[in-house]
Structure 1
């Protein structure tokens, strides 16, 4: 309830300042200064942080070795000086999900490729490099070793994507 009263008071304050600015522009004798006003307003708008810079500022607050109250003060200052809307928040969430999905899909493709390399017959020049012989005609080949490396890389990517996703949720 106190927050809504503070917001209404702040809105009235901003509105009264805007009305004062309009009154001064209409009734004041500004002369040459009238041309600099749009440029000053543009400079203030451009001074706002872009989306990646804003995220970096929030991450920097998290990395600082400050007390909780100091961290809250810094976050409050960032939120007051920069505009965050739902479009920015949605784009951040979409990017995070896209990173997870892309990494998981790459892992699944590598897993499938590795198993396909083991199951499908390999060319003779690849099969002639036998690392470990089970019998005189069969053994663990270079193709099997490469397939296992591809499978383990795919499993690693899937697990890494899962833990990254679980950490962010």
Structure 2
């Protein structure tokens, strides 16, 4: 006779269940880390776009963190939506990207596009404006402008004994933009200053 006996099937299902129970926590941590990284990379790309457009146009261009992408938008240090535009988009976030129509939006991203609903954004300031030389303007009072990205569900970061790899974007007064990991030591190339 060919096939499986009932006992073999039950043993196989038990082994599969054990393997799945071991793998699901690791998978959920991986998903949290992927969402945090995706949101951080999205904002980092927006910062790089704003800086590049400021240099290309030889004018001020900013990345604005906003609470929503509707006409009722306001600046928010908790994002997770962002808009790159020549003028402040406050109250006009629903305007289509255009070089002539105020606020002259270049690009916008909703937080849900990049996993932002599952990620907490905490910025030192809601608007980061670059001048024609690619430097933040006005010059910040601090050495670095920072934007931190953590898990919205409250999972602890690796440096606090948790499993989520929290990230931070740093913008220097010279305009250098980088993403770093606060859990790594300062001597590590991927660590924060």
TM-score, normalization by structure 2: 0.28
Structure possessing the higher radius of gyration over alpha carbons: 1
TM-score, normalization by structure 1: 0.31
Q: Which has the higher helix share?
A: 1
Q: Which has the higher strand share?
A: 2
